[in-house]
Amino acid sequence: MSIDFTKRRVGAAVPLGALRGKDSIGVGEYPDLAEFAGLCARAGVTLIQLLPVNDTGYESSPYSSISAFALNPLYIKIGAIPEAAGFRAEIDGLGKHFEKYKRFDYYEITEAKIGLLRAIFDANEEAITQSAAPQGTLGKWIECNGWIKGYAVYRRLKDANGQKCWKDWKEAALDGGGIEKIWVDPALRADHLFWVWLQVIACGQFAEAAKAVADAGILLEGDIPILMNEDSADVWEHPEIFNRDLSAGAPPDMYSPDGQNWGFPTYNWENQEKDGYVWWKKRLETASKYYNAYRIDHVLGFFRIWASSCADLGAKLGRFIPFIPIETADLTKLGFDEGRIRWLSRPHIRTGEVWDAVGGSRNEAERVFATALDRIGGEELWLFKDKIHGERDIAALNLSSRARDYLARAWADRLFLEYHRGEFFPTWKCRETRAWASLSEDEKAGLEALLREKDKRSQRLWEEEGRKLLQTLTGSTKMLPCAEDLGAVPDCVPKTLAALNILGLRVVRWTRKWEQEGQPYIPLEDYPELSVCTPAVHDSSTLREWWDTEADQNAFAAFIGAPSLHRVYNPGTARAVLRKIAGAASRFRVFQIQDLLHLSSRWYARDPSTERINIPGTYSAFNWTWRLPANIASLATDDEFINGVRELADIQPAGKRQV
């Protein structure tokens, strides 16, 4: 069936695990998506946006997948498996136990469902094993999914090693043909086939649910995280396509003064280009079995990525890759000799500062000098020892916490980061360093001109890189690409996205003229048609919590033309705000399901903070475990909710006449 990607749509964003379907075991399951599509169709919603559903093992974050291809077994509906016919009591028991949870316990449910699935497999092992013969159902599936052997071997080894990262396995290193040698071991065959069997079930259930969504006239949008967890089957099996000595993240900002170090390796694009980006193309091809459209997470990473050394904990000393480097010859031309280049690129620590940092303790100061620093000749200046490569080495020193904290701060005090011999990158806070303060005005002016020139050349490089990668990858499937292009976006990004017909993202609360006084909101009618408009995302507060605790209510009420808007969020407030946003000029207007539910008074949590999905920068059982406040069938009985959403779907773009 042909899909009209140019059609104006109102969408609902929901994590699959949040759904409460018929007979689900405490967490949303693949078939529940079909039931949810029926609810959306009644309400006029023609787009459903999911968070990633790839296997994340025992990690709740959907952006921390252990496979680019495998689906999460957590979402399997066990009762729908033919082999589970004799396990009705166990299935009902799990459902009764977990259904009482307001937020699902990711680890506990995963462990319980995997345990029950293994029992079902064991009871049917002979038949399943026979099906794995070349002409059997499983055998043919294995033949058509080349990634499955590596994934199955990885999952078995991860179990055998107590869920440790593969770098800590005794079997971590793979020689030529290593996976195939392990795969064909008859003693391990059943354990490997268990993980294959789960994927056959998951893929079948998800494909059937996706078809039901399409049959309801709804576009299904998936989410493709740009990066892979280092502890994943893909990085373990294909180390040549990753840079494992680098960790991706984001530079420092007002919310993260140390930057963000995500702990995920960057891509070795040079190696991937040699085989035509086959891994990425297969990844998108697999996603296209289910989705009509996909959200490209952190699309900026295709243009340039902020990368830190794995020797560091934070990201203050990261750099953009790619970047036109500042070279030794550039600095020499400005009059800097070898000694002064060292002064610019390596932290220099004064003797007295160490004494001050340790409170004058002679013993502690001497330990700092002995374990961490080398003196420069007879000067009262010290450099870090060559054995110290980053913040992790400093944290491992047998020193007091105040000494380590001081050394960690000193480690970042450099104007340039020398990441390769003779190649330098300006640190994010280079103008706040000791070295910068020591320069003459003429030297500062010379360096500023040099930095501008390198940045200008790098901008052209980013545009070339982003265009090449996105054109190659998005052209490999018929799915509609939608980009998450938040953050400090270079000018080349929106230009490239528009040229390639990739929809950008506009989060209303952050779509403002930040450089102007008062930071006014950009009018919704000025949003580009080639965009997705939304009032909230999975990493933000809900619209209700934002309104109650974060927003400048007067400014926003004036922006939407409702100065008398109620100051306590209620269905009337929700209706006014959501209707205004639904009139944005963007092609897609996508709302978190929580924000849509607030159109009805029945679904308000006492504390709005409990309705959010994730709190960035935190790690807890709270994140990623939100559930609908009632099952889908109950939501379908709420006419106030259904009619309120349908009103949004019928709204035409602001400033345009209804045809």
Helices of type H across 318-440? 328-333, 338-345, 351-357, 362-372, 391-395, 401-411, 434-437
**pTM confidence score:** 0.94
Q: Would the pLDDT of 657 be above 50?
A: no
Confidence check: pLDDT of 332 > 80: yes
**Per residue in 150-159, pLDDT tens?**
999 999 999 9
State the pLDDT confidence band at 177, using cuts at 50, 70 and 90. low
pLDDT at 60 over 50: yes
Q: What is the mean pLDDT of residues 331-355?
A: 97
pLDDT digits (tens, 9 = 90+) for 281-300: 999 999 999 999 999 999 99
Q: What is the 3-state secondary structure (H, E, C) of 99-164?
A: CCCCCCCHHHHHHHHHHHHHHHHHHCHHHHHHHCCCCCHHHHHHHHCCCHHHHHHHHHHHHHCCCC
Of the pLDDT bands very low, low, confident and very high (cuts 50, 70, 90), residue 655 is: low
Who's near 588: CB < 8 A, 6+ residues apart? 8, 9, 10, 11, 47, 482, 503, 531, 532, 533
Mean per-residue pLDDT of the chain: 95
∠ CA 175-180-186, rounded to 5°: 125
Looking at residue 176, its pLDDT comes to: 56
175 falls in which pLDDT band (50, 70, 90)? low
Kindly state the average pLDDT of the residues 521-529.
97
User: 3-state class of 206 per DSSP?
Assistant: helix
- Chain mean position to CA 97: 31
Q: How far is CA 317 from the centre of its chain?
A: 21
What per-residue confidence (pLDDT) applies to 659? 32
Give the per-residue pLDDT at 135.
85
* Token digits of residue 210: 């996706």
Q: Identify the band that residue 197 occupies on the pLDDT scale cut at 50, 70 and 90.
A: very high
Q: How confident is the model over 540-567, as a mean pLDDT?
A: 94
- Position 205, amino acid: Q
Q: What is the mean pLDDT of residues 617-635?
A: 95
Residue 553 has which token pair? 């209510």
- Looking at residue 488, its pLDDT comes to 81
pLDDT of 201 higher than 90: yes
Model pLDDT for residues 226-241, shown as the tens digit of each residue: 999 999 999 999 999 9
